[in-house]
Amino acid sequence: MIGVSDDRPPEDNTADPARKTTPPLRLRTLLIIAAVLFGLDLLTKTIAVANLRPGEPVYLIGDFARFTLVRNPGAAFSMATGMTWLLTLVAAAVVIGVIRIGRTLRSLWWAIGLGMVLGGALGNLVDRLFRAPGPLQGHVVDFVAIGWWPVFNVADSAIVCGAILLVVLTVFGFEPDGTRTGRDADEERAATARPEPPAEPEPERDHPKKDTPNGTGEENAA
């Protein structure tokens, strides 16, 4: 007697749009982006301090683009210069908050944006903790000047660009958990919930004819 195998092929969920795999957690991506930007910020600040002198700019494109060393006690782009200690606490709170959010993050774009904010916040926070004139009062090293724009550094650029990306994601309905809200998401859900068209009826099959004893193949009379 031939045994019947119970092995069944795995179910293919790709054909069913209602069954979608959960996106992976993106904390590692966030931390990698933050680490790269933090290292780049630290490296460029070290080079700037070693090669630039205050009040002696290095011109790159006329007066439009130049390197000039500035010690900034304020926030990004020289804002709030009289609140150094408060900005230090805010930067520390931002770092903690971003890491907490990143533990449940599943959107790649949110991971990129938050990674940029985290890397920039860490870069400036290190300056405020370890540079003169002292802890919580340290001045941030700025060295890039473009046109009329205030002097900034890599960390400032990362924070601003990351914040802009997060605002854009929020406006267009992209959520940190990888889902999307709004009109487009409603249309997508409606499309996936649309009922399938009814199956076409199978064609009728001819009834088999009974063989007569004389082999003519005609049906027997009742």
Catalytic residue among 156, 177, 184, 211: 156
- The whole-number pLDDT of residue 84 equals 73
Report which secondary-structure segment, H or E, holds 144.
strand 140-146
- The whole-number pLDDT of residue 199 equals 62
How far is Cα 170 from Cα 181, in angstroms, rounded to an integer?
Answer: 9
Question: Is 127 annotated in the active site?
Answer: no
Catalytic residue among 16, 127, 142, 186: 142
How far is Cα 165 from Cα 162, in angstroms, rounded to an integer?
Answer: 5
Question: Is 156 annotated in the active site?
Answer: yes
Q: pLDDT tens across 70-96, in order? A: 998 866 555 656 667 777 888 899 999
Whether the model clears a pTM of 0.85, i.e. scores above it, the answer is: no
CB 156 within 8 A of CB 142: yes
- The whole-number pLDDT of residue 147 equals 92
CB 96 within 8 A of CB 180: no
Give the residue with greater pLDDT, 139 vs 196: 139
CB 37 within 8 A of CB 123: yes
The residue-averaged pLDDT of 3-23 equals 54
Query: Nearest to residue 48, comparing CAs of 125, 160, 140?
Result: 140
Q: pLDDT tens across 101-129, in order? A: 999 999 999 999 999 999 999 999 999 99
